[in-house]
Amino acid sequence: GLPKQFCTKYLPKRDEWITLVDEKGTESDSYYLARKWGLSAQWKAFAINHKLVDGDCLVFERIHQTRFKVHIIRQSSYYK
């Protein structure tokens, strides 16, 4: 899930579709589950498409109420 403080401050108070924009400008919609502080539908596809692995860090930059730029910091970049 996502950090509770982040969700209560920046995300909708009810379940809602949000748009994730990667660093290349590609958009992906994902369903935000307010009571679970997490993403559901299409999140797995986003993770697979961006080859996310355990240890990668994601920074969600709020562009609009339901639109976020996602910056990916690769776990492997810490060991170079």
| pLDDT, tens digit (0-9, with 9 covering 90-100), for 24-64 | 999 999 999 999 999 998 899 999 999 999 999 999 999 99
DSSP 68: E
pLDDT at 78: 57
- CATH number of the domain where residue 54 is located: 2.40.330.10
pLDDT at 22: 95
Per-residue tokens: 55 = 């240890």
What H or E segment, with its residue span, contains residue 45? helix 43-49
Which residues, at least 6 apart from 45, have a Cβ–Cβ distance to it below 8 Å? 28
- Spatial contact of 3 and 23, defined as CB atoms under 8 Å apart: no
The residue range of the domain holding 43 is 4-77
